[in-house]
Amino acid sequence: MKSISLKIDESIFGDTEKILSSLKKPRNRYINEAIEFYNKFQRKQILEEKLKKESALVRENSMSVLQEFEKIDHAD
């Protein structure tokens, strides 16, 4: 395990301590779980953005192909 030092806003620290006292969970475990959850959330956000960009690229190409097919259909 890696050790880090971090500064937490007083209000966040106070809320965390209140939650921890009712959960009976070590602060370190709670923070690790919170970071793990946030990392998963961020990975999903990154993937969503990537898919949006790739979808836009494919959409442009698909519209071009569709127009070509329409030209072929009207030629008959």
Asked whether the predicted pLDDT for residue 4 surpasses 80, the reply is yes
Domains held by the chain: number: 1
Q: Is residue 51 in a domain?
A: yes
Query: Is residue 37 in some structural domain?
Result: yes
Residue 64 lies in a domain: yes
What confidence tens digit (pLDDT) does each residue in 5-63 have? 999 999 999 999 999 999 999 999 999 999 999 999 999 999 999 999 888 888 877 87
Domain of residue 39 covers: 10-75
For residue 2, is it within any domain?
no
The reply to whether 4 falls in a domain is no
Specify whether the CB–CB gap between 45 and 37 falls below 8 A.
Answer: no
CA angle 69–73–74, rounded 5-degree value: 120
Q: Is residue 3 part of a domain?
A: no
pTM of the model as a whole: 0.68
Q: Is 66's pLDDT higher than 90?
A: no
What local confidence, expressed as pLDDT, does residue 46 receive?
98
In whole angstroms, what is the distance from residue 26 CA to residue 17 CA? 10
pLDDT band at residue 76 using 50, 70 and 90 as cut-offs: low
**In this structure, is residue 43 part of a structural domain?**
yes
